[in-house]
């Protein structure tokens, strides 16, 4: 065992410094500082180099965590970067926004008794250092191949697939209906979790490696899917899930009740310097308002914290279950509480009040009942427990479902699962349409960036196998 490792016994866990809440509320900059070089090395040295590393087993990318921690502890950062980037297209992004407490770090063996190795912060540090030192080189295929592949969707699934396919020499074109590359990394996730520059430098990196981007290209809208299919030898669908789950009840149609993603896209565009009329008009701007966000997932957490930074008068999160049973990351709840968000647990909206626009939410208290077939406790309203919350802006953050792709693409043969996601053959990522593959949230349902990267990587490998098989079949004829 290297002398550098196993320091967890004597060295306590140290996370990168977090900015004070009062300071964070004033801007949209990231809230965690970068590790200082010494801290990164010493924190990496806390790893006990497990024979069976449960951190890696529970990382969706099976990252070779103990080895790059050891290299970091030894100061061999360029090698650490090479190793971490071999399995992860965007280590610096995962290091920032993976829910590590549920994945790698939550399963680190020294978590029991000592606190886990700060894997995410080291992963981020290694790749940020690689960018600063010029170690991140453009993709350089060993040879060019003539097959051309279209990827629809420039989110993490599409971009991870683009990296891997281009690395094999394919001619890759990524189409997206937005004007920037990144999908939810740019337009969903706020800058205080992931600064936009981090995503935009990856856009340039992919372009430098020969990946082509066609933006403002709404496939199924202005550009028919059939035309795109005819242009390319294979297509990968990585379009994500965007149909917002809605809420009914009296007053649900009142102005001032908005969808989470509309609110977040507006805020992100404003931060990117775009002209955003709905922000300027106040329609999608929390400034000076009493804001109620409905939901308990990561999207809801991003909305409450965005509203705080837009200088809302008050921000309340209404969630029908309790803190222990919410889907969002507890780390983000803590951050939101520090920043001044009020959480009203075990409460659900009953009606939205107001004349020509929303002015209040009437909510009812809930209690948790017996577990259902899935093991999750049911929630039931408590009779006579209604209460009213003042609200000039209500943000619905109840999750997302897939859009109707067969309808949008005019491809009735594109088969769906019972959840409305795209049906793919296990292992091959191929949909019911020959030569059309799919990956990311559109297959998995709303998930995580790290899973999208994994799917993109695996779908690229499946597409490569598809072409190799076709070549073998041709050669045998």
Q: Which is nearer to ligand SF4, 49 or 377 (CB)?
A: 49
Q: Write down the least CB distance from residue 104 to ligand FAD, Å.
A: 13
Q: Write down the least CB distance from residue 285 to ligand SF4, Å.
A: 33
Q: Write down the least CB distance from residue 61 to ligand SF4, Å.
A: 5
Q: Which is nearer to ligand SF4, 59 or 459 (CB)?
A: 59
Q: Write down the least CB distance from residue 352 to ligand FAD, Å.
A: 22
Name which of ligand SF4, ligand FAD, none residue 436 binds, using a CB cut-off of 5 to 8 Å depending on partner kind.
Answer: none
What distance in Å separates the CA atoms of residue 454 and residue 151, rounded to the nearest whole number? 16
Does the footprint of ligand SF4 cover residue 131 (CB under 6 A)? no
Q: Which is nearer to ligand FAD, 61 or 71 (CB)?
A: 61
What distance in Å separates the CA atoms of residue 201 and residue 461, rounded to the nearest whole number? 25
Q: Which helix (H) or strand (E) holds 436?
A: strand 436-438
Q: Which is nearer to ligand FAD, 364 or 448 (CB)?
A: 448
Q: What is the DSSP string of 209-268?
A: TT-EEE-S--BTTTB-HHHHHHHSSEEEE-----EE----STTTT-TTEEEHHHHHHHHH
Q: Write down the least CB distance from residue 442 to ligand FAD, Å.
A: 6
- Name the phi and psi angles at 459, rounded to 5: -65, -40
Nearest to 402 by CA among 453, 440, 430, 448: 440
What distance in Å separates the CA atoms of residue 247 and residue 378, rounded to the nearest whole number? 18
Q: Which is nearer to ligand SF4, 279 or 451 (CB)?
A: 451
3-state helix, strand, coil in the chain (%, to 5): 40, 15, 45
Q: Write down the least CB distance from residue 453 to ligand FAD, Å.
A: 8
Structure tokens at 7: 């320091």
Q: Which is nearer to ligand SF4, 47 or 244 (CB)?
A: 47
Name which of ligand FAD, ligand SF4, none residue 351 binds, using a CB cut-off of 5 to 8 Å depending on partner kind.
Answer: none
Please tell me whether residue 400 adopts helix, strand or coil conformation.
Answer: strand
Name which of ligand SF4, ligand FAD, none residue 183 binds, using a CB cut-off of 5 to 8 Å depending on partner kind.
Answer: ligand FAD
Footprint on residues 21-80 left by ligand SF4 (CB under 6 A): 47-50, 53-55, 59, 61, 63, 65-66
Name which of ligand SF4, ligand FAD, none residue 97 binds, using a CB cut-off of 5 to 8 Å depending on partner kind.
Answer: ligand FAD
393-406 burial, b at 16+ Cβ within 10 Å, e below that, comes to bbbbbbbbebeebb
Which stretches of the chain bind ligand FAD, using CB under 6 A? 97-98, 152-158, 175-178, 183-184, 188-189, 193, 217-220, 238-240, 264, 298-299, 302, 440-441, 447-450, 452
Q: Write down the least CB distance from residue 450 to ligand SF4, Å.
A: 5
Q: Which is nearer to ligand FAD, 251 or 328 (CB)?
A: 328
Q: Helix 37-44 to helix 65-73 angle, to the nearest 10 degrees? A: 130
- Tokens 């009606």 belong to residue: 351
Query: For the window 78-107, what string marks contact with ligand SF4 as x by the rule CB under 6 A?
Result: ----------x-----xx--x-x--xx---
Residue from 109, 214, 272, 368 in contact with ligand SF4 (CB under 6 A): 109
Asked if 366 and 381 count as a contact pair (C-beta separation under 8 A), the reply is yes
Q: Which residues sit at the interface with ligand SF4, rule CB under 6 A?
A: 47-50, 53-55, 59, 61, 63, 65-66, 88, 94-95, 98, 100, 103-104, 108-110, 117, 119-120, 123, 450
């Amino acid at each position: 065992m290297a002398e550098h490792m196993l320091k967890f016994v004597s060295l306590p866990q140290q996370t990168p410094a977090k900015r004070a809440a009062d300071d964070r509320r004033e801007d949209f900059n990231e809230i965690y500082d970068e590790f200082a070089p010494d801290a990164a090395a010493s924190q990496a040295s806390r790893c006990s180099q497990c024979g069976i590393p449960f951190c890696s087993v529970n990382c969706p990318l099976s990252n070779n965590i103990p080895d790059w921690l050891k290299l970091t502890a030894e100061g061999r950062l360029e090698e650490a970067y090479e190793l971490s980037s071999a399995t992860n297209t965007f280590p610096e992004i995962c290091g920032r926004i993976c829910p590590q407490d549920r994945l790698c770090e939550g399963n680190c063996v020294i978590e029991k008794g000592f606190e886990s190795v700060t894997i995410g912060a080291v992963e981020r540090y290694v790749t940020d250092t690689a960018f600063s030192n010029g170690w991140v080189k453009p993709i350089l295929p060993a040879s060019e191949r003539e097959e051309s592949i279209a990827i629809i969707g420039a989110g993490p699934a599409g971009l991870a697939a683009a990296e891997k396919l281009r690395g094999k020499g394919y001619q890759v074109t990524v189409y997206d209906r937005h004007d920037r590359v990144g999908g939810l990394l740019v337009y969903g996730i706020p800058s205080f979790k992931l600064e936009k520059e981090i995503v935009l430098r990856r856009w340039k990196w992919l372009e430098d490696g020969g990946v082509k981007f066609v933006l403002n290209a709404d496939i199924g809208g202005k550009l028919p899917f059939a035309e795109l299919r005819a242009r390319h030898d294979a297509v990968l669908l990585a379009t994500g899930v965007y149909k917002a789950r809605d809420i009914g009840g009296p007053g649900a149609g009142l102005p001032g009740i908005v969808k989470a993603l509309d609110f977040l896209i507006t805020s992100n565009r404003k931060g990117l310097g775009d002209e955003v009329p709905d922000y300027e008009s106040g329609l999608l701007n929390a400034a000076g308002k009493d804001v109620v966000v409905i939901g308990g997932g990561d999207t809801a957490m991003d909305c409450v914290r965005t509203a705080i930074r837009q200088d809302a008068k008050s921000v309340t999160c209404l969630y029908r279950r309790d803190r222990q049973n919410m889907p969002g990351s507890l780390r983000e709840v803590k951050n939101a509480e520090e920043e001044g968000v009020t959480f009203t647990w075990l409460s659900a909206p009953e009606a939205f009040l107001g004349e020509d626009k929303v002015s209040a939410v009437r909510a009812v208290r809930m209690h948790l009942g017996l577990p259902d077939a899935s093991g999750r406790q049911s929630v039931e309203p408590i009779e006579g427990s209604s209460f009213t919350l003042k609200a000039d802006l209500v943000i619905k953050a109840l999750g997302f479902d897939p859009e109707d792709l067969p309808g949008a693409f005019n491809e009735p043969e594109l088969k769906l699962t019972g959840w409305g996601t795209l049906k793919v053959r296990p292992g091959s990522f191929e949909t019911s349409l020959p030569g059309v593959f799919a990956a990311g949230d559109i297959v998995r349902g709303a998930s995580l960036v790290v899973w999208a990267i994994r799917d993109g990587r695996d779908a690229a490998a499946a597409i490569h196998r598809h072409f190799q098989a076709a070549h073998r079949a041709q050669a045998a004829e």
